Each structure stands twice: as structure tokens, then as C-alpha cells.
């Protein structure tokens, strides 16, 4: 993780952590080389929303809770260290970066089970309000600059709290907090060129080794 990363701890209106400048430029270059490989093989890697969880959990018949494409890293990498993003991410979550003494929720929080989901949002994509079955979720936002999309804001709907999803920033929060992504507006050609809105979701739990 970038040694210049800024972490803001919030306890109100609920506990969350906000990270700015998560990765340094060297790490970002490695991540984007990996993402370009995924983009060039888009149909091979990126799955239908129903294959990445929660998409169909809606009261609307045949309705979709989300419209985006994505994949879980454990589905494509048998060894997570073969992925630059997965390898670099370990510096965030296994070096106590989310263990923040000023937070009553994240104080002494040391997750030992983390699942990583890469999602990309393009024209008219969204994610309706939902909750995660986690102790904590981290949402890291990345996009190629210059930014070529509008919308795509991340909102905690019960508190009217929203984030602009600036590049290379992340919010970490209790998974039970209801959240959504507003609809994306962008050109199809820009999306095809790799300028979509990427979210890296870290689903964090603590598993008892004896269970």
C-alpha cells in the first residue's frame, strides 16, 4: 500500500474507514497491465451479474438487482499471488491497515478470510440497494484517466451519505450497511477502450480456525 495513503476514521453516523491514494504509481501500473489483459479477453473473464452474487435477489420477477460484469479472483487464479492486484492487496488487509484504534468497530479487526471481486461498470450499469453477508466490505474504485463517465456514485441509502468514487480511493464498512451504485453514463466506445468504472470489492470475514 502507498506509504502516503491517507486513512480517515469515522464513527458517525456509522463506523467506516475512507482511504485516499491507496496504491502508489508503481502498483497502479502493475494493476492496469493486469486489467488490460482482462479487458482484451473480456468475454472470457467477465461474467453475467447472476454469476457474481446477489444480482437476482429482488422482488421484481426476472428483475436484476445489479447490471455490471465481474469475476471473483479465486475463480480464475488458483494461486492468488499470480495476480498483481491480489498480491498488492495483501499489504492492505494483512498488515493491519484496517485495524484502526480510533474506530470502535474496526479496532483489533484482523480478517483472515477475504474474497476479492472485480466489477466493471459501463453504460447504464448500476447496483440497486443491497447488503453484504460480511463482517466488513471494502470497495476500492479505479478508472483510467481522464475520467470518461458520469454517475456511478456509491451511496449508503439509509443515511443519504455518498461518495464520488474518486480514482484510487476506498471505503471499508460493515457489510450489513445498505449501499448502492447509481447508474453510469458513458460512451460505448470509451467503455470498449477500457475507461469503465472498476470496483474491487473485498469481502472480509473472520473464521475460527477450529470451526
pLDDT value for 191: 97
In this prediction the pTM is 0.93
pLDDT tens digit sequence for 73-93: 999 998 888 999 999 988 777
Report the run of H or E that residue 26 belongs to, with start and end.
helix 25-40
Contacts of 17 (CB under 8 A, 6+ apart): 7, 8, 9, 10, 98, 100, 103, 106, 171, 172, 173
pLDDT value for 68: 95
Could you say which residues of the chain have pLDDT below 50? 56
Q: What dihedral angle (degrees, nearest 10) is formed by the CA atoms of 39, 71, 106, 161? A: 70
pLDDT tens digit sequence for 177-205: 999 999 999 999 999 999 999 999 999 99
Residues facing residue 202 across a β-bridge: 116, 138
Amino acid at each position: 500500500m502507498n506509504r502516503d495513503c491517507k486513512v480517515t476514521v469515522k464513527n458517525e453516523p456509522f463506523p467506516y474507514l475512507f482511504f485516499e491514494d491507496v496504491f502508489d504509481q508503481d502498483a497502479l501500473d502493475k494493476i492496469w497491465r493486469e486489467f488490460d489483459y482482462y479487458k482484451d479477453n473480456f468475454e472470457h473473464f467477465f461474467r453475467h451479474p447472476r454469476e457474481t452474487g446477489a444480482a437476482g435477489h429482488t422482488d421484481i420477477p426476472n428483475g436484476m438487482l445489479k447490471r455490471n460484469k465481474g469475476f471473483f479472483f479465486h475463480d480464475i487464479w488458483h494461486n492468488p499471488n499470480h495476480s498483481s492486484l491480489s498480491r498488492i492487496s495483501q499489504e492492505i488487509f494483512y498488515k493491519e491497515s484496517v485495524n484502526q484504534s480510533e474506530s470502535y468497530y474496526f479496532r483489533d479487526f484482523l480478517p483472515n478470510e477475504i474474497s476479492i471481486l472485480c466489477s466493471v461498470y459501463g453504460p447504464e450499469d448500476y447496483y440497486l440497494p443491497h447488503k453484504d453477508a460480511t463482517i466488513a466490505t471494502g470497495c476500492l474504485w479505479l478508472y483510467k484517466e481522464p475520467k470518461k463517465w458520469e454517475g456511478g456514485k456509491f451511496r449508503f441509502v439509509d443515511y443519504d451519505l455518498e461518495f464520488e468514487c474518486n480514482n484510487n480511493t476506498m471505503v471499508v464498512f460493515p457489510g450489513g450497511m445498505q449501499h448502492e451504485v447509481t447508474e453510469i453514463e458513458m460512451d460505448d466506445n470509451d467503455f470498449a477502450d477500457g475507461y469503465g468504472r472498476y470496483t474491487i470489492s473485498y469481502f472480509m470475514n473472520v473464521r475460527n480456525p477450529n470451526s
